[in-house]
Structure 1
Amino acid sequence: MRRSFHYMVFLTCFFAMCACRNQPPGQSVHDRLLEAVLAGNREVVDSCLQNGGNPNLRDDEGTPLLILAVNAGKPGILESILRYRVSVDARRQSGYQSTALMETALRNNLEAARLLLSRGAGVNLRDSIGDTALHWAAFYGRLELARLLCENGAGLSITSREGAPLDVALWQFNDAVADYLVAKDATMRQSGEFVEAVRAGNEAAVKQLLKAGANADQLDESGSPVLVIAASRGFFNIVKLLLEKKTDPDLMNRVGQTALCRAVYFGHEDIAKLLASHGAGINKAGPHYRMTPLHAAAKSGQSTIGQWLIEKRANIDAQEGISGYTPLMIATSYGRQDMVKVLIKARANPHIKGFDGAALPDLINYAGRPEIARLLEEYMLQQ
């Protein structure tokens, strides 16, 4: 049986080598190597590398083979490439000029991240806007990847155009990552009994502490007001208690999100309406990120709440502060069909461009949702 097994392994390797050596006329070993990586064929990848394939190869757009391997989702192929003298921190020549380690966040590829780190990948290298791999993990909400990066020396205080990793996690509503980064940062003071009671949703304790003089405007370690925390977590009665203590309904967290913005994102319609009844600003947002409640509805696909916000005179064409995207652009890029319909009905402007020059047709292609594409193409023809 062992001889048969080894013979089968030999045949497999032999045919893989033939596949690389006997490529179609005009196709080089490098072309074959690129095809094999994209197809996820490790046997052919191994054969091509053994027969002179360049592990530092790039495709026509300047993307390194290493990044293509990470995004192919086949750790075995990445492992094969890393056996050779390869530049582990090679960057894309376009886009954000990201490294392979950064791009492990796209598909939450933990195994690839471990391999790259074991080969010395730069954990604190920055992309073209100053983001590190930890910023990428925070953006995509990859908690375990964030843990791995921090264990390997990722900097918590490195700031980019988008802020520190904690700012990015909060901005993208990735609260599990944000909570981890707060706990990891030794420079942040402990929040205290009142904040912990709010976080836990302990209504009786909150009521008792408020009666004893607790500050209804108190902030947690990261600068989030307790009202914002309660609204995010759906604690209606605690939000009501805080509002009865005359806390400002428009208090913001460190990235300029109000309690209303966060209640909308997480689908807490009752809390959103309670906040509005106490004067919360429908279009209120901080000056840098400028994430309004309607942007939040577009991002999370809360179409019913989105319709309510529009009826309350939300600015349907407001541009978010980092990307310049409008609610319609955000709903399109996240594939939120019902929200797209709500915004079309409200006559949202389909011709605004993001700060990077991206227009709605670009986002339609990115989303890859034919039903949304049909809706928007028909709408744009009418404008």
Structure 2
Amino acid sequence: MAERERPRRLLRLVQEGRLDLLRDELHPEDIPEARSRRWGRLGDTLLHHAARMGHRDVLEFLVRELGMDVEVANGDYKRPIHEAASMGHGECVSFLLERGASVDCLKKADWTPLMMACTRKNLEVISSLVEHGANPLLRNKDGWNCFHIASREGHPEVLRYLLDVSPGIWDTESTIRRTPLHTAAMHGCSRVVELLLERCHYRPDSRDKCGVTPFMDAIQNGHLDIARMLLEKHQACPTALDALGAQALHRAAVTAQDGSLQFLVAELGVDVNGRATSLRIPALHYAAKEGHGHTILTLLSLGADLQAQDGKSRSALHAAVAGQQAEATRILLRAGLRDTPDGSGTLAQQLARKPEVIQVFQESQVTT
């Protein structure tokens, strides 16, 4: 039993940074196994664990005295330098680089140590990697470079540094044609958006592969400060269409961003009954299909036409029942919308599947 517990004890000492006890525990005959031993699903070595936890002295002991390879990879092709960079452990990164670790090695999905470092606001680590030759323009399998990653994380200080060392780094798109401006707007990184608008040269209303603009990203995620910034400083168009012909209005209805709907209609004057796609679908239908009862009420308060039909003569009630949305169905019925002009219940018979939706219609027939 003691022999079986021994590897676990070694791992715990490495994770806790107990170098003194680790030296005492390791006998010469144990070194070959300790050097090659793997842990967990991905097969991390002691070196991976020491780098992840930021124990420079343990890392140095494992490399110098046990002879472990600084380029050892786990099942995701992640090296110790990936671990140290991703956790912001500057001393560990510096030691591994001094020992010859490849600065641009790739883990699964083609992430470099610099990309990993840009998930954190640690300029010491980022600058150390760049100074040792890391290429900031490399892209992972999704087409993101480190600038794109830092934009998502909301680190203007990191972005300023990257722009200083590589002025053209901002001019990048992912494989689905999303820019760092899209990403920052989507994630609500207002300070980053401000910096990107000041120092970079993105086209107003640049579209990703789905036709989504940064303004749409901000609106459908409820980031109104960013939406205002894009309108004032980047001439964004609030009624631009995506690849399917939907506006920011329709996308906000899908994501239940009532504040965004108020902003678009009450402040910007966007038509609340504007239609999307070749099927001419109103925003009210989108909210109904998704079951956003409070958004239905918001749209109605903003003047949405309760009786509006799409290009296939379907009402918002059709959309709610087709989506099996009981509460949305109830709200629309209470607002006065009926499945057929004579209230015969055809829609309920044809589309209602869930017992809760069927019950809503039964209740409606009793009350009427």
Q: How does 1:70-81 map to 2 (within 5 A)?
A: 70-81=85-96
Whether the aligned pair in 2 keeps the contact of 1:234 and 1:268 (CA below 8 Å) is no
Shift of 1:45: 0.5
Aligned equivalents of 2:186, 2:56: Cα separation in 1: 39
For residue 239 of structure 2, the aligned residue among 247, 250, 254 is 250
Shift of 1:248: 8.3
Aligned equivalents of 1:113, 1:100: Cα separation in 2: 9
Q: 1:174 is aligned with what amino acid? A: C
Q: 1:63 to 1:308 in 2, by over 3 A?
A: same
Shift of 1:269: 7.1
Partner of residue 183, structure 1: 198
Return 5+ residue gaps in structure 2 as ranges. 1-17, 37-44, 205-212, 278-282, 300-322, 329-368
Partner of residue 274, structure 1: 266
Shift of 1:150: 1.1
| Residue correspondences, number | 248
Partner of residue 87, structure 1: 102
Shift of 1:134: 0.6
Q: 1:36 is aligned with what amino acid? A: A
For residue 155 of structure 1, the aligned residue among 154, 161, 169 is 169
Q: How does 1:119-158 map to 2 (within 5 A)?
A: 119-153=132-166, 155-158=169-172
Greater Cα radius of gyration, structure 1 or 2: 2
Whether the aligned pair in 2 keeps the contact of 1:102 and 1:136 (CA below 8 Å) is yes
Q: 1:132 to 1:271 in 2, by over 3 A?
A: same
For residue 103 of structure 1, the aligned residue among 113, 116, 135 is 116
% identical aligned pairs: 18
Q: 1:230-251 CA distances to partner (integer Å, 9 max, x unpaired)?
A: x823999xx9xxxxxxx98634
Partner of residue 40, structure 1: 54
Shift of 1:130: 1.5
Aligned equivalents of 1:266, 1:176: Cα separation in 2: 24
Partner of residue 8, structure 1: none
Q: 1:120-159 CA distances to partner (integer Å, 9 max, x unpaired)?
A: 1110001112111111111222222111111110522122
Q: 1:2-39 CA distances to partner (integer Å, 9 max, x unpaired)?
A: xxxxxxxxxx9776655677695763225332232233
Q: 2:101 is aligned with what amino acid? A: V
Aligned equivalents of 2:59, 2:126: Cα separation in 1: 20
Whether the aligned pair in 2 keeps the contact of 1:79 and 1:115 (CA below 8 Å) is yes
For residue 131 of structure 2, the aligned residue among 118, 122, 132 is 118
Q: 1:309 is aligned with what amino acid? A: T
What's the secondary structure of 1:27's corresponding residue?
helix
Q: 1:235 to 1:133 in 2, by over 3 A?
A: closer
Partner of residue 54, structure 1: 69
Return 5+ residue gaps in structure 1 as ranges. 1-11, 190-221, 240-246, 286-291, 296-304, 314-342, 349-383
Q: 1:169 to 1:35 in 2, by over 3 A?
A: closer
Q: TM-score, normalised by structure 1?
A: 0.50
Q: Which moved more, 1:12-21 or 1:154-163?
A: 12-21
Q: TM-score, normalised by structure 2?
A: 0.52
Whether the aligned pair in 2 keeps the contact of 1:59 and 1:65 (CA below 8 Å) is no
